[in-house]
Amino acid sequence: MQVWIRQTSGYHCPGDEEARRFPIPGWMWDREVGRTLYRDRMRHIRHADELGFDGIIFTELHSVNLTPSPNLLVAAASQNTEQIKLVLMGNCLPLHGHPVRLAEELSMLDNLSDGRLVAGFVRGNASAHYAMNVSAKESRSRFEEAYDLILRAWTDENPFEWHGQHYDYDCVAIVPRPLQAPHPPVWTVAGSAEGLEWAARNHVGLVVQGTIPQANEIFDYYQGYAEQQCGWQPSAGSRAVYRDLYLAPTMAEIRRDYQDTILPLYLASNEHETHNQAIPKIAELRREQYTERSYAYQAVRKASLDQR
C-alpha cells in the first residue's frame, strides 16, 4: 500500500469570509498573504518528502485557489524534493485548448522530476467550466479526445497528423519525450458510469471518494466493467481511496481542534458549494455534465437520495 498526501492550496484572506466565495474578486487578493501561502506550501511539500510519504497530490482549481496551474507547482516541487512522487490529480483536460502543449509540459515535468511524475487527468467540475467558459455538453468528448491525443504524442516515435472532432493538427511531434517509458502512470477521479467505463477501457488507475459503501459500489462497477467488457482485472495498485485524516497527540487536542478549526472549515466549504450551485450558469453546467445513466448504477446513492 502507498500513501499519497493531497495538499490543499486554498486562498484564505484573514478576517474576510467573502474570500471563500466563488469567484474571488481581484480586490480581495492580499499580495503579501499570497506570497506567504506559496512559501508555506513549498515548505509543506518538502516536509512531506522528508517524512517519507509515497506521493503528494496537486489539483487544478480556478478562481478560488492557489493552483490554477498545478503543473507550475509541480515544476517548483521537482527541484525541492528528492523521492516523493509528484501526482497531478489532475489536469482538467476539457479546459486545455491545446493538448499537444500539455503533452509537452508533462514530458518536461517527468524529466525535471527524474521520472517521479504521475499524470492524473480529470474532467473538472462545473465551476471550472464556468471559469474557463467551456461547454459542459462537450466536456466528455473533449476529455476523451485530448487523452487519446496526449497518449499518442507521448508514444508515437514519428510525426503524425491529427484531425479530430475538437482538435486539428497537421503535424504532431513532441520533445522532450517522457523519461518514464512508455509514459508516466495515468490516474483519474471518477464516479459516473461514463467515467468509470472510460477508465476501465484505457487501463487507467482510479481514485474514489465517498463513504465505504459508496466507494465499494464504485470499485465494483469499475472492476466488473474492466473484467467483463475490457478483458483485464484491475489490481489493488490500480485503486485508491481518498480520505480526510487529522492527527494529534491526544484525543483532547483533536476534539479542541475539530471544534475550533476543522468544523468551521468544513461548514465553510459546504457553504461555498451551496453558493456555487446558486449561480444559475454553474447549476446548468452541472446538469449538462451528466446523463440519466451516469449514477443509475449506484443503489447506495439512490437510497440516500430517496431518504431525503
Express each pLDDT in 144-168 by its tens digit: 999 999 999 999 999 999 999 999 9
C-alpha cell at 282: 454553474
- Quick one: average pLDDT of 30-57? 92
- Asked if 112 and 162 count as a contact pair (C-beta separation under 8 A), the reply is no
Render pLDDT for 168-218 as a digit per residue (tens, 0 to 9). Answer: 999 999 999 999 999 999 999 999 999 999 999 999 999 998 889 999 999
C-alpha cell at 78: 521537482
The pairs formed by 212-219 with CB atoms below 8 angstroms and a separation of 24 or more are 213/300, 214/298, 214/300, 214/301, 215/241, 217/297, 217/298, 217/299, 217/300, 217/301, 218/190, 218/191, 218/298
Band of the pLDDT at 259, cuts 50, 70, 90?
Answer: confident
- Write the burial class of residue 95 (CB in 10 Å: 0-12 exposed, 13-18 middle, 19+ buried): buried
- Give the chain's mean pLDDT: 87
Render pLDDT for 95-151 as a digit per residue (tens, 0 to 9). Answer: 988 999 999 999 999 999 999 999 999 998 888 888 888 888 899 999 999 999 999
How many CB atoms lie under 10 A from the CB of residue 43? 10
DSSP character at residue 114:
T
Band of the pLDDT at 260, cuts 50, 70, 90?
Answer: confident
- Write the burial class of residue 132 (CB in 10 Å: 0-12 exposed, 13-18 middle, 19+ buried): middle
Q: Can you give the pTM of this predicted structure?
A: 0.87
- Quick one: average pLDDT of 4-12? 76
Q: Hey, is 145 helix, strand or coil?
A: helix
C-alpha cell at 233: 482485472
Predicted pLDDT at 119: 96
Sequence length of the chain is: 308
